[in-house]
Amino acid sequence: MYWDHKYYKHSGMIGFMGILCLVFLGVPATVFLSIIYSYAIFYIPFVYINLFLTIGCGAAVGYMVSKCAKLGKIRNNTFLLITGFGFGLLSEYVGWVSWLFALSEQKYIILSPGTILEIMADLSKEGVWSIHGTTPQGIFLYLVWAVEAVLILGFSTFMVWHLLGTKAFCERCGVWVKGNDSISLLEPIANPGECKLQLEQGDYTTLESLKKVEVSSDHFTVIELYHCSGCNALFLLTVKDVKVKINSNGGEDLQEDLVVRNLIIDSQIYERLKNHWVNGDEENSESFPDEMEEQPLSDVPSNE
Ligand SMILES: [Zn+2]
C-alpha cells in the first residue's frame, strides 16, 4: 500500500480517534490560545511585539493541533492541510470575539460573524490604535487585519503540515516512526539533483563518498535515518543540504534544502549508512537505544 513507491507516503487514514482528538483537545486548546493572544495584543501597545505575537499564535495553534492530530493518528495530507487552515480560521474568529470583548471592557460577547464584520467596518472609520502618531483607518486598517489573518492561517496550516505531513507512520505497528539516527557535517553534495536520481535507483556511492567537514562549516550535508523499531520493516532516508546564513541580527539561520525525504531503503542500507562514518571519536550520530536486527531484503513488505 504505502510502500508502493520509492518514498514513504501517508496512507490517507483519518479515523474516528483523530476526529475526537481534534474536537475535544484541538478546539479547547485553540480557543484558549486565541483568547490569550487577543488579550495580549489588546494590552501590549508595541506593534512589532504584536507582529511576533500574531506569528506565535498561528504557530502555537498549528503546533497544538498537530499534537492532537498526532495523538489521533491522522495521516492524510489533504485533511491535515484543511485542519491547519480550519483551526487557523477558528483562532481568528475567537481572537476577534475576545478582542471585542476586551474593547467593550468585558461587557459584550459578540459571536455572530456578521455583527463582527459590521463592528469592524465601524471601527475602520475612526481607527482603533496608533503607531508613530498615525492612526490607521479604512483600507489601511483592513490591510493590517488581513496581514494578521494571513499570518495566523498561514502559520497554523504550515505547522500542522510541516510537523505531521512529513512524519512517517508505520501502518504495520500503528505507530509514528520514532527511531532516528542522524549523521551531520558531511561535505556538500556537488550535484543534488543527480544524487537524488542515484539514491532513487539504489546507488549510494555519491552519498558514501562524502567526507566529514569542520564543525564551523557553513555549508554541509545532513543524513537522517528513520526506522520503525516495532517491526524493523520500515527504513527511511532523508538527505538535506544545509547552509548556515548570518541574519540581520548577527544570529545564524539554517537554510535546509531537501535532496530526498523519506526515501524507502532496507535494513542493510540503513545499517551501512549508519555505520559508514563511524571512525573513532568523530562520531556525530545518536544511536537508537534498541538493538537493530539485521533483516534480509525479502523481509521488506512488497507491494500489494
Ligand atoms: Zn513498525
Residue 79: pLDDT band with limits 50, 70, 90: very high
Q: How far is the CA of 180 from the centre of ligand 1 (A)?
A: 14
Name which of 9-18, 55-64, 284-293 the model is least confident about.
Answer: 284-293
Give the Å distance between the CA of 292 and the centre of ligand 1: 13
**pLDDT band at residue 86 using 50, 70 and 90 as cut-offs:** very high
Ligand 1 centroid, distance to 228 Cα (angstroms): 5
What is the tens place of the pLDDT at every residue in 149-165?
999 999 999 999 988 88
132-190 per-position pLDDT tens digit: 777 777 888 889 889 999 999 999 999 999 888 889 999 999 999 986 888 888 999 99
Tell me the mean pLDDT in the region 85-96.
95
Please tell me the distance between residue 1's alpha carbon and the centre of ligand 1 in angstroms: 14
Residue 292's pLDDT band (cuts 50, 70, 90): very low
Residue 285 has pLDDT above 90, yes or no: no
With a pLDDT cut of 90, the percent of the chain lying above it is: 56
Q: What is the number of alpha carbons within 13 Å of residue 123 lying toward its C-beta?
A: 17
Q: What is the pTM of this model?
A: 0.78
Cα 98 to ligand 1 centre (Å): 45
> Ligand 1 centroid vs 229 CA: distance in angstroms?
6
pLDDT at residue number 129: 73
Tell me which residue of 90, 122, 92, 131 sits closest to 104, measured CA to CA: 122
The predicted structure's pLDDT at residue 279: 67
In the reported structure, the alpha carbon of residue 177 is separated from the centroid of ligand 1 by a whole-number distance in angstroms of 7
pLDDT of residue 278: 83
Q: Give distance in angstroms: CA of 227 to centre of ligand 1.
A: 8
Regarding predicted confidence, which is higher, 301 or 102? 102
User: Could you tell me the distance, in angstroms and rounded to a whole number, from the CA of residue 46 to the centre of ligand 1?
Assistant: 50
Q: How far apart are CA 66 and CA 23, in angstroms?
A: 13
With cell 474536537, the residue in question is 23
Q: What is the structure's pLDDT at 141?
A: 85
The reported pLDDT for the residue numbered 57 is: 93
> What's the gap in Å between 170 CA and the centre of ligand 1?
5
Q: For residue 217, report the distance from its CA to the centre of ligand 1, in Å.
A: 36
CA of 171 to the centre of ligand 1 (A): 7
Q: Residue 301 — pLDDT band, cuts 50, 70, 90?
A: very low
The answer, yes or no, to whether residue 45 has pLDDT greater than 80, is: no
Measured in Å, residue 239 CA sits from the centre of ligand 1 at: 22
Question: Among 51-55, 131-135, 202-206, where is mean pLDDT lowest?
Answer: 131-135
**Alpha carbon distance 148, 24 (integer Å):** 26
Cα 61 to averaged position of ligand 1 atoms, centre (Å): 30
C-alpha cell at 215: 564543525
Min mean pLDDT across 109-118, 232-241, 277-286 is at: 277-286
Residue 236: the pLDDT is 94
Query: In angstroms, what is the span from residue 125 Cα to ligand 1's centroid?
Result: 59
Rg (CA), the chain: 24
Q: How far is the CA of 230 from the centre of ligand 1 (A)?
A: 5
> Which H/E stretch holds residue 255?
strand 252-265
